Amino acid sequence: MRLVWLISIACMVGALYCAACNRIGGPPDIAKEYVRPKDVVDFEALYNENCSACHGRNGQNGPAYDLANPAYQAIVDDASLKKWITSGMPGTEMPAFGESAGGFLTEKQVDALVAGIRSHWSKTSPGAVTAPPYLASSRGDEKSGEQVYKTACLSCHQKANAQISDTSYLALVSDQALRTITIAGRPDLGHPDWQHDRPDQPLTNEEITNVVAYLASLRSGTPGQPYPNHP
């Protein structure tokens, strides 16, 4: 009797197993259902996971630079985008994402991000042909830059919520980031580009290089100090 009972149980289990395997779609294909993180090359997945928190869900309105800015897309090259994503941007809060620099994204994934940024947000920007180059070719003159700052920038940046010369802000932004914002602006924040920084005429490449040199000279080696005295 016990043997008959065990055989019945075995048959029931076998029937259930076969029914599960023969359901619509067949048995689960583990290889298709699970994708290793290093194999993900979908732009939307990579961007939302690694970039959107700082650069905004749609490439704008985030705390970091707006990648969807047409003027920015017009001046930045693929090599620079790949460099910043892979190795981070020194002097800023942009971290390194590439495996070669201690991050966790493969070169293929970084390339997918660069290609996606281009295909989603690269648009023709008026005046892009005459825009100053993305990278500076010289350090610039601080004194000349101070004059440019006073005539082209101070009217907006003297406001309490826009003091770009504040040492705490300058400690968190690199020279390249300052140059990028001066050239391409930040439309999401109402910041004009190089063509409209000054009402009478666009800023020249030399003037932009000089104003960045001036702002860089204001950085403090000990940002946030001196601290208030405590009893």
Question: Could you tell me the residue ranges of all domains in the chain?
Answer: 37-121, 140-217
Q: Is 71 within 8 Å of 128 (Cβ atoms)?
A: yes
Residue 98 contacts by C-beta under 8 Å, 6 or more apart in sequence? 85, 86, 87, 105, 107, 110
pLDDT of residue 23: 47
CATH class for domain 140-217? mainly alpha
Give strand pairing partners of 98.
105
CATH 1.10.760.10 fits 37-121, yes or no: yes
Would you tell me the crossing angle of helices 142-152 and 205-217 to the nearest 10 degrees?
Answer: 100
pLDDT score for 158: 83
Position 160 scores a pLDDT of 67
pLDDT at position 204 is 96
Model pLDDT, residue 13: 46
**CATH topology of 37-121 equal to that of 140-217?**
yes
Q: Hey, is 103 helix, strand or coil? A: coil
Kindly state the tokens that stand for 120. 């989603």
Close Cβ partners of 217 (under 8 Å, ≥ 6 residues apart): 142
Among 177, 168, 166, which Cα is nearest to 208's? 177
Pick out the chain residues at pLDDT < 70: 1-34, 124-129, 160-161, 224-231
Whether the CB-CB separation of 121 and 59 falls below 8 Å is answered with: yes
